Amino acid sequence: MTWPIIPIRSFCNTGSGTTPARDKSERYYGGSIPWVKSGELREAIITKTEEMVTEAAINETALRLVPSGALLVAMYGATVGRVGILGVPATTNQAVCHIVPDPKKADQRYLFHALRALAPELVKRGVGGAQPNINQQIVKDAEVPLPPVSEQRRIAAILDQVDGLRCKRREAVAMFHNLRQSAFKELFGDPASNPRGWPVGRILDVTSSTQYGTSAKAGEEGRFPILRMGNLTTDGGWKLDELKYIDLVEQDIAKYTVRKGDILFNRTNSPDLVGKSAVFREEREFAFAGYLVRLRLNGRAEPEFVSAYLNSTHGKATLRGMCKSIIGMANINAKELTSIPLMIPPIELQKRYASMIEKSLEAEILNTVHLRDLDQLFNSLQHRAFRGEL
């Protein structure tokens, strides 16, 4: 089915806001009127904002009150192209374009989905470097297919239903991560204060060996996939979708590969990222690169426990306090890593925690697979919807 392709300016009113003078904070800020910044657009309904402005700000500056139900598009910064919907009347800063559609011509939810689908194209038209900016004119000139309003509502209802399922799956994935963090404190207490009075030793006491990774150059081909510092996440997880590969001579295989249960520690990175740690949980062989340290334990502690300790708030604060910075990079060597104080609860309790982690990860992986399937379904439906094929 062919629908007319209409520029947004022909059936919507658009505008943007401003930032009231900060040197008049007492007069312009701290009121009861929401003020939306571009970083707050996360493809959701907006009912609360980080900052509020006063009536004086509206009366004395270029701020205008935008009605509830308006669509917002981020024009600058890391969230450029993101879309949100106002759930309350609000104002915005200059980095946000508001869009108020004619209800006789466009359904709000339909236009929301259409703008999300258009976002990559809008960003392509922007100017700038790694994070191009767009402007109101780009938004106004953007064209969307515009079927009858009844058809728009039907399409929006379908996309809303699948999008809602995606949101629930994302929440489930996040829940498992939060459960792992809370389970650590539940079983062992806060490591900063050690309220259970567990014996305290050092990581050295539970370590059988440490090993730096290989400095050999990786490429697109090779026998072993190689783990690099970018494969470790800041929360003790792994990203294994962008791997390089390497060949190792026979005598180096045991030295530069990891096995299930090893901990890898990121010894060199930016000050905010140095010290990332994760348990290797794969069955197949991986090599590991030189900016990583392999920590192999001696049985006195469970790898999941030690990794969670290092990734706890207390662990990260300890690592930040000990790293040495040189020209923007920070470093913690293997000797310093094994000198870190470590509370050592009974191994049976640690094994119980490790079992909980294993079950949690299995459930998270299952939900992640379902989420990926839903993402593919949504993308397919979205593509078909705006081609008149849904």
Distance between alpha carbon 31 and the CA centroid of its chain, in Å? 31
Q: Kindly state whether residues 317 and 232 are assigned to the same domain.
A: yes
Continuous H helices in the chain:
25-28, 55-60, 108-124, 136-141, 149-188, 253-256, 303-311, 313-322, 334-338, 347-385
CATH number at residue 138: 3.90.220.20
95 belongs to a structural domain: yes
Residue 324 has pLDDT above 80, yes or no: no
Query: Do 158 and 247 have their domain in common?
Result: no
On whether both 210 and 323 belong to a single domain, the answer is: yes
Whether residue 20 sits in one domain with residue 130: yes
| 162/203 same-domain check | no
pLDDT at 128 over 70: no
Q: Do 107 and 160 fall within a single domain? A: no
List 127's β-bridge partners, or say none. 133
- 243 and 171 part of one domain: no
CA distance 119 to 97: 13
Tens digits of per-residue pLDDT, 25-70?
A: 999 999 999 999 998 988 789 999 999 999 999 999 999 999 999 9
Is residue 340 within 8 Å of residue 265, measured between CB atoms?
A: no
Please check whether residue 372 lies inside any domain of the structure.
Answer: yes
* pLDDT higher than 80, residue 264: yes
Q: 10 Å Cβ neighbour count for 168?
A: 14
Does the pLDDT of residue 166 top 80, yes or no? Answer: yes
The pLDDT value recorded for residue 155 is: 95
Please check whether residues 227 and 297 belong to one and the same domain.
yes
Q: How confident is the model at residue 272 (pLDDT cuts 50, 70, 90)?
A: confident
DSSP label at 235?
A: T
By residue range, what is the domain housing residue 26? 5-146
In a domain, residue 187? The reply is no
Same domain (yes/no): 99, 119: yes
Domain check: are 170 and 204 in the same one? no
Above pLDDT 90, what percent of the chain?
76
142, 154: one domain: no
Q: What pLDDT is attached to residue 251?
A: 94
- 289 within domain boundaries: yes
Q: How many other β-carbons are positioned within 10 Å of the β-carbon of residue 334?
A: 17
- Is the CB of residue 107 less than 8 Å from the CB of residue 149? yes
Mean pLDDT on 219-241: 92
Report the alpha-carbon distance of residue 359 to residue 238 in Å, rounded. 17
Classify residue 361 by burial, with Cβ atoms within 10 Å: 0-12, 13-18, 19+.
Answer: middle
Q: Has residue 105 been placed in a domain? A: yes
Token output for 63: 């701020």
Between CA 259 and CA 346 the distance in angstroms is: 24
> Mean pLDDT of all residues in the chain?
92
**Which has the minimum average pLDDT: 3-7, 267-271, 355-359, 376-380?**
267-271
43 inside domain? yes
Record the pTM.
0.74
Q: Per the structure, how many domains does the chain have?
A: 3
How confident is the model at residue 130, as a pLDDT? Answer: 60
pLDDT of residue 147: 94
